[in-house]
Amino acid sequence: DAGITQSPRYKITETGRQVTLMCHQTWSHSYMFWYRQDLGHGLRLIYYSAAADITDKGEVPDGYVVSRSKTENFPLTLESATRSQTSVYFCASTQDRSQLGYTFGSGTRLTVV
Amino acid sequence: AQSVTQPDIHITVSEGASLELRCNYSYGATPYLFWYVQSPGQGLQLLLKYFSGDTLVQGIKGFEAEFKRSQSSFNLRKPSVHWSDAAEYFCAVGAFRRGSYIPTFGRGTSLIVHP
């Protein structure tokens, strides 16, 4: 199906484990983003990517790693999960600087126990 | 650095009443401003955006927003609220980086609609 897909929708993991959240878009959008959403904080940018193999840190990048080997995929990895990383994670994409096509995925709810 | 303030955490209105959600921004250059809506368990959907030109912007679902540079505000309005408008609303300001405008979001305002 066309669109932006995040997987899994829900994930429970233990402290210290590595976990990867997947994001896939079918439009070949250049720009992709990862945000986390926490009560009282709104959405905060973790990482973004302007194209394949180009990534930049956002507001809260510590403890996260991203890669973008293919335009359509933008996985987010928590190298050693901590309880403070319990959150809802949103992926988004847009084609160009005009932000006309800024589209969000449905989110991944991650719980670190 | 850019920032967005949404001073109201919760807003409660009766169905059919008018609505105004407040947003104040801080950004050194010409702001690119957005309003998004999030229904429970869903991602964010763009309601409207302001880049330049007419300071009164029309969006989807009957929403509009007015950019006031002198007040650094971009308040969202709707003349008559429907029960289906109950959701979380986010204002965002776009900062230009890497050839795109990266949104910085406010903390959101939760809209509650009473029948």
Per-residue H/E/C for A50-107: EECCEEEECCCCCCEEECCCCCCECCEEECCCCHHHCEEEEEEEECCCCCCCCEECCC
| Residues across chain B | 115
Q: How many CB atoms lie within 10 A of CB B111?
A: 21
**B108 inside 8 A of chain A by CB:** yes
Give the number of beta-carbon pairs within 8 Å between A and B.
62
**pLDDT for B18-67, tens place per residue?**
999 999 999 877 788 999 999 988 888 999 999 888 899 999 999 999 99
The pLDDT of residue A86 is above 60: yes
**For chain A, first and last CA: distance in Å?**
33
Q: Which has more pLDDT, A96 or A72?
A: A72
Mean pLDDT of chain A: 91
> Which of A40, A48, A98 lies nearest to residue B102, judging by beta carbons?
A48
- Asked if B100 lies within 8 A of A41 by C-beta distance, the reply is no
Interface test with B, best of A5, A32, A37, A46 (most B CBs within 10 A): A37
Q: What is the pLDDT of residue B52?
A: 81
Contact (CB, 8 A) for B43 and A3: no
How large is the average pLDDT for residues A32-45?
A: 91
Taking CB atoms and an 8 Å cutoff, what residues of chain B touch A31? 100
The pLDDT of residue A54 is above 80: yes
Taking CB atoms and an 8 Å cutoff, what residues of chain B touch A104? 43-45
pLDDT bin (cut points 50, 70, 90) of residue A2 is low
- Asked if A99 lies within 8 A of B101 by C-beta distance, the reply is yes
pLDDT bin (cut points 50, 70, 90) of residue A98 is low
The pLDDT of residue A8 is above 80: yes
